[in-house]
Amino acid sequence: MSTIFFATDVHGSEICWKKFISAGKFYNADMIILGGDMTGKALVPFIKDDKGKYKVNFLEEEMLLDEEGKQAMEKNISDRGYYPINLTDDQFDELSQDKEKVEKLFVEEVLKVAERWVAYADEKLAGTGIKCFVCPGNDDMFEIDEVLTTSKTITMAEGKILDLDGYYEMLSSGWSNLTPWDTHRECSEERLAEIIEAMASKVTDFNRCVFNLHAPPYGSGLDEAPELDENLRPKYAGRSLIPVGSYAVRDAIMKYQPPLAMVGHIHEGRGIKRLKKTFVVNPGSSYEQGTLLGAIIEIDKKGISKYILTSG
């Protein structure tokens, strides 16, 4: 029997990444799997004035902080999935006029944090025997792949069929169906079906295969998100939910019927559903609260023997 800890959509949250790396030991799991979207959403500048104070605007609240307050706020910002940076007034004004420079700086910060996360994982997982698999998601820029491949303890899973425990293997992709946000790894349903099929063609026994696919299956109940208006704002204060998952993922699960499919992408879609004989798990995401949502799954040669959603 093997025990899997699965989480997804940490979106740059420093504390959620640390909890993920610690989850194998904490839950006595043989392997930890991150299903996508490591990357945070935005830069948050700290601007130092001539009196040594730092001005910062975070979540529409403007603050003026001393050095001690700045350090505490930087941690808070990092834990909530954003990237704190230090700028002068002149640098801030310059960046305000140049979107290309902002994008370049954002990429630099993302990769710097990713390198720090890899170093943290290598330090904490070395010698533990806990396997770690990470698959970048639709929000993750392609540059992050190279950082992950430098790790001594993390296996980069995108597009691969990987051995899990000598019995089960895992098929992984972080690509999603099209979203309103024009993210890095999204594509048409037809293309996503081709991506999945290219991996599925290499699977020898689907009864011994786990699917790790970022997008949840359409209409499964694990893919319901707030309906958006033409300005991409939630309708009816977010109370109107509609299915936004992938037909390609649904069709692949229904066709091949693996014992387990692990998905994410839709943070509100937390739950466990059965599609015929396949258990489909979406642990959801509360990264902005610094809470790591996850799922513990025990799997043996007969299939899923135990499963539970976790929050910590």
- pLDDT band for 234, please (50, 70, 90 cuts): confident
pLDDT at 29: 98
Q: What is the pLDDT of residue 67?
A: 93
pTM for the whole structure: 0.96
**Centroid of chain to Cα 185:** 12
The pLDDT, as a whole number, for residue 52 is 87
Decide: helix, strand or coil at residue 243: strand
The mean pLDDT of 142-155, rounded to a whole number, is 98
CA–CA separation, 266 and 283 (whole Å): 9
Q: What tokens appear for 156 in the block? A: 């980069």
Contact 10, 32 (CB under 8 A): no
What tens digit of pLDDT does each residue of 101-148 get? 999 999 999 999 999 999 999 999 999 999 999 999 999 999 999 999
Q: Where are the alpha helices (DSSP H) in the chain?
A: 14-26, 67-79, 89-96, 99-125, 143-149, 189-200, 247-256
Cα dist. 135→162, 226, 263 in Å? 12, 25, 11
What pLDDT is recorded for position 164? Answer: 98
Average pLDDT, rounded, for the chain:
96
Q: Is 186 helix (H, G, I), strand (E, B) or coil?
A: strand
CA atoms within 13 A on the CB side of 219: 7
Could you give the CA distance from residue 133 to residue 135 in angstroms, rounded to a whole number? 7
Three-class SS state of 132? strand
DSSP 214: S
Q: Is the separation of the CB atoms in 176 and 135 below 8 Å?
A: no
Contacts of 312 (CB under 8 A, 6+ apart): 19, 23, 26, 291, 292, 294
User: Domains in the chain, ordered, with CATH?
Assistant: 2-39+106-311 (3.60.21.10), 43-99 (no CATH)
As a whole number of angstroms, the distance between CA 33 and CA 157 comes to 9
pLDDT of residue 2: 98
pLDDT by residue (tens digit) across 163-198? Answer: 999 999 999 999 999 999 999 999 999 999 999 999
Q: How far is CA 77 from the centre of its chain?
A: 18
